A = this chain, B = another copy of it.
Amino acid sequence: MSEAGDDARRAVTLADVASKAGVAISTASRALSNPGRVNAATRERIARIAAELGYSPNSPARALTSGRTGAIAVLVSDVTNPFYFGIIKGTQRQLKASGYSQLLIDTEESDQNEDDLLHRLRSSFDGAVLAASRLSDRTLAELASQLPIVAVNRQTRGVSTVFIDTPKGIEQAVEHLVSLGHRDIAYVSGPETSWPNEGRWRRFVKAGKQHAVTTRRLGPFSPLRSAGAAAADALLNTGATAAIAFNDLLAIGMLQHLAARGIRVPGEMSIVGCDDIFGADFCNPPLTTLTAPIEQAGRLAVTLLLAQLEPGSDGGQRRSTTLPTHLTVRSSTGPAPSHRSIDQEMP
C-alpha cells in the first residue's frame, strides 16, 4: 500500500530517486548523467532504483542549467516536397540513434520566417540542420557563429555544409543527352532564390559549351509539380529537343503536361530531372534523373552537427562534405528526334 502512494499523479523526480537511495540529489544526478564521478556500486544502486521508479529526467529542467536540450531543429522550406522527406528521414534516424529528438520546422520558403523561427526557438534546441536555407550569406554566417549549424546544399564561408554534388551530375546528364544526338538543350530553372539552382545552371552552361551545344534557360518556376505545365509549354516554344529540370517535381509535372499535349517522351522530347525522389521510378515514363543520396545527406548533416556539439570541440572545426550523385537512366530520355519532321514542315 505504500508503493502506490497518494501522490501517484506527479512524475517521479530526481529527489524521489535520491531519497529512496539515501543519497543527495547531486549524487543521484551525477550517477545518472556523469558516471565516473561517483562510486561504481553507488551508481549501480541509484540506476537500479531509478529504473524501478520509472524515473525519466525532466528535459526542460535539465536544459535550464546545462544549456543542452537534447533536441535538434531541422528546417525545411516545404514539408510537402518529397526531397525533404529524404532529408527528414535521414536526420530522424541519425538523431534517434544518438539519443536526440527532432524539432521539425517549415520555413515556407521565407527567409523572414527562417530567421524569426530560429531566434524564437533558439532556446529549444542545441543546433540546427538547415535543409534549404534562404538566408543571405551574411546572415547565415553570423548565425553559424553563435549557434551550431549545418547547411545542406549551401556552401557559405564559415558554415558547415553537406553538399550534394548535383552540378557535377549535370555534366553527366548533358553528356548523356549529347550522346543521344541532342544539340539544343534547355535548363528549366527553379526559384532564383534557391542556392542550388544557380550552381546547376552554371554547370549546365559550362557543359553545354564543352560539347558545343545550344543551351537555354527557362523559368524561373516554382519547384512544384503544378509548375510543370507552364514549364512544358515554355519548352515547346523553343527549338530544344531535351530539357534538364531543376528538380524531379518539376520534371514529373512536365511529363504529365507533355502527355496531355500528346507529345511523346522520349520520342519527341527528352526530360531529365534532379534528385531521384520518391515516384521518379514509377511515373510515366520513368524519369531519367540525377540520383542524390538524400537520406545519407540528412544523416551526415546530423553527424557533422553532433560533432560540433561535442564538449571538446570549440565549434571551430567547421567541416564541409561533398556527396556524389550519379545519373540514373530510365525511360524519359532517348535519341533526339530526326530532322524528318522539320524537313516536312519546310519543303
Provide the bound-state CA to CA distance between A124 and B68, in Å.
13
Interface centre among A82, A85, A89 (most CB of B within 10 A): A85
In the complex, what distance in Å separates the CA atom of A332 from the CA atom of B256? 17
In the complex, whether A177 has a CB less than 8 A from a CB of chain B is: no
In the complex, whether A38 has a CB less than 8 A from a CB of chain B is no
A274-307 interface bits toward B, Cβ cutoff 8 Å, 1 = contact, 0 = none:
0000110011110000000000000000000000
| Residues of chain B lying within 8 A (CB to CB) of residue A119 | 54, 56
- Judge if A41 is at the interface, Cβ distance under 8 Å: no
Quick one: CB contact mask for A188-230 with B, threshold 8 Å, 1 for yes? 0000000000000000000000000000000000000000000
**Interface bits A90-120 vs B (CB < 8 Å: 1, else 0):** 0011001000011111100000000000011
Check if A15 is an interface residue, CB within 8 A of chain B.
no
**Interface contact B96-A106, CB-CB below 8 Å:** yes
Residue of B nearest to A259 (CB): B282
A139 at the interface (CB under 8 A from B): no
Residue A17, interface by CB 8 Å: no
Contact of A92 among B54, B79, B92, B282 (CB under 8 A): B79
A223 to chain B, nearest CB (A): 14
